[in-house]
Amino acid sequence: MFAGLIRYLDSIRARDPAPRSRWEILLYPGVWALGFHRVANWLYHARLFFLARLINHLSRMLTAIDIHPGAQIGRNFFIDHGFTVIGETAEIGDNVTIYQCVTLGGTNPTNGKAGKRHPTLADNVIIGSGAQVIGPIHVGARARIGANAVVTDDVPEGATMIGLKARSTLVPVETWLREFMPYGTPCDDPCEPSRDSLEKLEAELKALRGEVAELRAAQQGGGKPARRRRAGD
């Protein structure tokens, strides 16, 4: 048990450069929340639902993290900071990292799949700050969900999802296949496949503004404007 705790603390230290020692990590609210959840989950499966909920509410008061006792969580789960909500039928694999203010939320029970209302996260998933992952969807292994994204559909293995409603950045997985990516969001040029299109649109807009200015000048002077070539002609 002690060796398992050491491995868990070291797995957090590998993902978070802030702590100077394992003792600091023991103060993290995410570590305490997971510890409380292990107890609550055991009580939940023993059908001691009131006691499980009591532990859950105590944990929420102390850590600002709400993990339903029924949620299934794998090894080396790390919640960096707090204010996270994880629903009853959520399933979380190994080595998953969640940042602050994330919700693994559920759908209306009548619309769920045989009672499954919350997401399933495969191994090594990273979810950025403020992201909302809603419904009985599956997030594939090594997927990254960017900050404030809203995800309501299945996420392919290795994909990076951004936006509202979340869309894939279309970055090849091998480009960003790193052991760990803080906040689940790559921040260099390959994360912006639309930059060329944006520059082209800006050039066309500049040309159109020039034509409009010429038309206004011609109308005021009574002359005929010369035809200008648009960008790309």
Q: Are residues 98 and 208 in the same domain?
A: no
Q: Are residues 70 and 112 in the same domain?
A: yes
pTM, two decimal places: 0.71
Cβ–Cβ < 8 Å for 106, 134: yes
Q: Are residues 107 and 200 in the same domain?
A: no
pLDDT digits (tens, 9 = 90+) for 74-93: 999 999 988 999 999 999 99
- Domain tally, the chain: 2
Distant-in-sequence, close-in-space partners of 63: CB < 8 Å, separation ≥ 6:
29, 30, 32, 33, 36, 82
Confidence of residue 175 (pLDDT cuts 50, 70, 90): low
pLDDT digits (tens, 9 = 90+) for 141-171: 999 999 999 999 999 999 999 888 877 766 5
Q: Is the pLDDT of residue 190 over 60?
A: no
Distance between CA 68 and CA 142 in Å, rounded? Answer: 24
Distant-in-sequence, close-in-space partners of 40: CB < 8 Å, separation ≥ 6:
52, 53, 55, 56, 59, 67, 69
Q: Are residues 178 and 69 in the same domain?
A: yes
- In the prediction, which pLDDT does 210 show? 87
Confidence of residue 70 (pLDDT cuts 50, 70, 90): very high
Q: Are residues 206 and 163 in the same domain?
A: no
CATH of residue 146's domain is: 2.160.10.10
Other C-beta atoms closer than 10 Å to the C-beta of 23 total: 9
Q: Are residues 170 and 126 in the same domain?
A: yes
- Report the mean per-residue pLDDT for the chain: 85
Q: Name the residue type at position 144.
A: R
Q: Are residues 47 and 88 in the same domain?
A: yes
- Residue scoring higher pLDDT (127 or 204): 127
Distance between CA 102 and CA 79 in Å, rounded? Answer: 9
- pLDDT (average), residues 210-232: 71
- In the prediction, which pLDDT does 168 show? 72
Question: Burial, 48: exposed, middle or buried (Cβ in 10 Å; 0-12, 13-18, 19+)?
Answer: middle
Supply φ then ψ for residue 93, to 5 degrees.
-80, -160
Q: Are residues 39 and 79 in the same domain?
A: yes
Q: Are residues 187 and 217 in the same domain?
A: no
Q: Are residues 154 and 212 in the same domain?
A: no
Q: Are residues 87 and 176 in the same domain?
A: yes
Domain that holds residue 20: 2-191
- In the prediction, which pLDDT does 203 show? 86
- In the prediction, which pLDDT does 2 show? 84
